[in-house]
Amino acid sequence: MKATEVDFTLNDGNKIPAVGLGTAFPRENQDLVTDCIITALKSGIRHIDTAWYYGSEPMIGVALQKAFTEGIVKREDIFITTKVWPGRHDDALGSLNDSLEFLQLDYVDLFLQHWPLCFIKDTFTVDERFDPLDTWKEIIEIKKTTKKVKSIGVSNYSIRSLERLFKETDVIPAVNQVELHPRLPQLELVEFCRDHGILMEAFSPLGSGGAPLLKIPLVNELAEKYKATATDILISFHVCKGTVVLPRTQNLERLKQGWEFVKISNEDLAKLNEYGIANHYRYIAAEFGINLGFPDWNDSVDYHTGV
C-alpha cells in the first residue's frame, strides 16, 4: 500500500491525506514545479503543502488547472494547504486571496499561520509592536465569514504558544505543522497536541536540502529489515504515529515511484525516537532573535514578555 493512500481526520471532521508533497522548492528550480505537480498527481499524491512565501504557487496553479482540464484529478479529490507569512501578519485575508489567485482556486483545504511571528514587511526583522496571535484571530474570522478555507491551523507553535492561543481565542487549530523527524521527535509537543485534538504535521522529514537523514544507520537497518527504502522508513515513521508528513522532491522518478507505507513496529518506532533524543538536531532554526518556546531552541528573549 502507498503511504499516500492513508487518510486522517481533523478535529473539524474534514479528512486529510497523511502524505503531502512539500513545495518549498529552491527558487532557481521553479520552472520544474509544474511538471513535478502533474507527475505527483498522476502518481496518486493527493495533498500539496504550499505557502505564499515559497513563490511556487503560480506554477502549482498552472499544474492544477492542467490536471483538472485533462481529468487527471478533480478539485474535490485533492487537498491543498497554504500559509500566511509573518511579513503579512496583519493581512491574512490579502495573503489568502493572493494565494487563491496564484493557485487558480476558490478555496484551500487548509490555511495556516506560517510562524507565530510578525515581521516588518519584506524583511526577517521581528516587529514587536504587533502580536502574532492577532494573525490567528484573523484566520478564525476568515473561516467564520468566508468559504475560502475548509480548515485552519498553525505552524511552528510550541506548547507555550499553544497554551496562550487556548487562553485567548476560542478555536483549536486543526493542525500544528512543525519540524519533526528521527533527529527531532519533539515527543512532549506531539503528546500535548494529541491530547488537545490537534493533528501534527511533520515538515523537513528528510532533514531538508540533500536529505541528510537518509544516511542515519538505524534508518538503513530498518529499511533492510522491512525490505523498504530509507525514504519509506522516514515517511512511515510519521504515518504510523498518526502524523501527516510533507516530503519534498523535484525528482520525477521519485515522484513516479511514490512512497510505500511500512507498518513499523512500536518497538522500532521507540528506537527511532530514542535515536532522536540522543542525536538531537534542528535543521530549520533561523535566528529570529525571538524565543518561540521550543525547549531545544533558545533564541534570545521571549516575545512580548521580554524574559
Which listed residue (34, 39, 156, 161) binds ligand NAP by CB under 6 A?
156
Q: Is 231 in the site for ligand NAP (CB under 6 A)?
A: yes
Phi, psi dihedral angles at 269 (to 5 degrees): -65, -40
Q: Is 250 in the site for ligand NAP (CB under 6 A)?
A: yes
Alpha helices in 176-265 (DSSP H): 187-195, 217-225, 230-239, 252-257
Is residue 47 a known part of a binding site? no
CB within 8 Å of 112: residues ≥ 6 apart: 51, 81, 82, 83, 84, 152, 153, 154, 155, 175, 177
Contact 211, 179 (CB under 8 A): no
Contact 18, 6 (CB under 8 A): yes
Cell triple for 177: 505543522
Q: Is 155 in the site for ligand NAP (CB under 6 A)?
A: yes
Alpha helices in 153-203 (DSSP H): 159-168, 187-195
Please confirm, yes or no, whether 107 is among the known catalytic residues: no
Contact 300, 289 (CB under 8 A): yes
In the bound state with ligand NAP, the residue whose beta carbon lies nearer, of 97 and 250, is 250
Q: How far is the CB of 207 from ligand NAP (least distance, A)?
A: 5
Q: Which stretch binds ligand NAP (CB under 6 A): 95-103, 182-190, 209-217, 287-295?
A: 209-217
**CA atoms within a 13 Å half-sphere pointing along the CA-CB vector of 256:** 4
Q: Which stretch binds ligand NAP (CB under 6 A): 57-65, 121-129, 132-140, 201-209?
A: 201-209
In the bound state with ligand NAP, the residue whose beta carbon lies nearer, of 70 and 279, is 279
How many chain residues bind ligand NAP (CB under 6 A)? 27
Residue 291 is inside which H or E element, if any?
strand 290-291
Active-site residue, from 54, 226, 281, 303: 54
Contact 95, 85 (CB under 8 A): yes
CB within 8 Å of 32: residues ≥ 6 apart: 25, 250
Which position's Cβ is nearest ligand NAP? 22
Q: Which stretch binds ligand NAP (CB under 6 A): 91-99, 137-145, 248-256, 262-270?
A: 248-256
Which listed residue (177, 186, 236, 243) binds ligand NAP by CB under 6 A?
177
Q: How far is the CB of 169 from ligand NAP (least distance, A)?
A: 20
Which listed residue (204, 222, 228, 288) binds ligand NAP by CB under 6 A?
204
Amino acid at 201: E
SS (H, E, C) 32-53: HHHHHHHHHHHCCCCEEECCHH
Contact 45, 77 (CB under 8 A): no
- Note the residue count of the chain: 307
Q: How far is the CB of 191 from ligand NAP (least distance, A)?
A: 20
In the bound state with ligand NAP, the residue whose beta carbon lies nearer, of 133 and 182, is 182
Q: Which stretch binds ligand NAP (CB under 6 A): 8-16, 18-26, 85-93, 142-150?
A: 18-26
Which listed residue (19, 49, 100, 109) binds ligand NAP by CB under 6 A?
49
Of 21-40, which residues contact ligand NAP (CB under 6 A)? 22-24
Provide the annotated active-site residues.
Answer: 54
- Residues making contact with ligand NAP (CB under 6 A): 22-24, 49, 114, 155-156, 177, 203-211, 214, 231, 246-251, 254, 284
Residue list, annotated binding site for substrate: 114
